[in-house]
Amino acid sequence: MRAGFAGTPEFAARALAALHEAGYTIPLVLTQPDRPSGRGMTVAPSPVKRYALAHALRVEQPASLKGADVQSALRDVELDVLVVAAYGLILPQPVLDWPRRGCLNIHASLLPRWRGAAPIARALEAGDTVTGITIMRMDAGLDTGPMLRRESIPIAAAETAGTLHDRLASLGARLIVETLRLMERDAVGDATPQPATGVTYAAKIDRAERRIDWTASATVLDRKVRAFSPAPGATAAWRGTAFRIVAATVLDSNSGDPAPGSVVRVTRAGIDVACGAHTTLRLTAVQPAGGRAMTAAAFAAGRGVVAGTPFESADE
């Protein structure tokens, strides 16, 4: 089977590696153009491009798939199927019609819940206890195609977007290989339409969402910290200087009715901060802007954080 691939981040690179290691012929890999990344904003290839070049796979990086010239060039490559994972570009109908057996998408949620760009973060932010991978046949809608495979995994209590990403990437890589094996034997079965109920959308994370609002409950803030870890990070400020909250823990309800954002206590275990609904969030690890991650206790000692002083909400 000739399986093309379209994807960009590490989540997609895991699937590409699985297909390559399974012995599939991969005539073409599509990924987004190289972009600046990191603190130095150095132009760098995507994880998918790095894997493809390391294994002598042909790579193309169109900025869009809407042009007739791009679509014509793609059609010159004979494909049985195109596997898509976190590609980041819309596939117009002529591209969807290009492979002989259509386009399959690896989506990091149990569709129809969390269609869209940020399903992992939104599942954590919402407090979901289960998520998974859906393999679907792509259509012109946003993650609306009929489903071929669907497998769930539990979300652990202390799960972060980083740990959940890695587990889902491994699951997606396995499921897409299993799906193509079944397709080769014409045993994959009919695709199941997504139900009309239970649809939610996982919008891309906006910069303003990163700010911690201390009037929210500690449970809500803990979910945000974990949903945005390791990137883009939930941010707060101390005396006007922004920092990221790397890790935190929800404590029992506080007493004395301190103002949200006020430091309740500082111990070797971390910085306890009053939140809304009479709750307390313990910061255990933070990262100052431009610096490295450190324990919250070390941050407090170096910056004079003491009980009764306030944290703020701020952009990084």
How confident is the prediction along the chain (316 residues), in pLDDT tens digits per residue?
A: 999 999 999 999 999 999 999 999 999 999 999 988 766 678 899 999 999 999 999 999 999 999 999 999 999 999 999 999 999 999 999 999 999 999 999 999 999 999 999 999 999 999 999 999 999 999 999 999 999 999 999 999 999 999 999 999 999 999 999 999 999 999 988 999 999 999 999 999 998 999 999 999 999 999 999 999 999 999 999 999 999 999 999 997 766 789 999 999 999 999 999 999 999 999 999 999 889 999 999 999 999 999 999 998 765 4
User: Which tokens in the block code for residue 194?
Assistant: 């997504």
Provide the whole-model pTM: 0.94
C-alpha to C-alpha distance for 135 and 158, rounded to whole angstroms: 27
C-alpha to C-alpha distance for 113 and 152, rounded to whole angstroms: 12
Question: Which residue segments constitute the domains of the chain, with CATH numbers given?
Answer: 3-202 (3.40.50.170), 207-303 (3.10.25.10)
| pLDDT, tens digit (0-9, with 9 covering 90-100), for 174-183 | 999 999 999 9
E-strand stretches of 175-277 = 201-202, 234-238, 241-251, 263-267, 270-275
Residue 197 has a CB neighbour count (10 Å cut-off) of 6
Q: What was the pLDDT predicted at 63?
A: 96
Phi and psi at residue 30, to the nearest 5°: -105, 135
Query: Parallel, antiparallel, or unpaired: how do β-strands 35-37 and 29-30 relate?
Result: unpaired
Helical ranges in the chain per DSSP H? 10-21, 47-54, 68-75, 93-96, 119-125, 161-184, 218-227, 296-303
C-alpha to C-alpha distance for 133 and 123, rounded to whole angstroms: 13
C-alpha to C-alpha distance for 233 and 227, rounded to whole angstroms: 8
| pLDDT, tens digit (0-9, with 9 covering 90-100), for 257-304 | 899 999 999 999 999 999 999 999 999 999 998 899 999 999 999 999
C-alpha to C-alpha distance for 277 and 284, rounded to whole angstroms: 21
- The alpha carbon dihedral of 124, 127, 132, 133 has a sign of negative
User: Which tokens in the block code for residue 155?
Assistant: 């979300």
Contact 81, 1 (CB under 8 A): yes
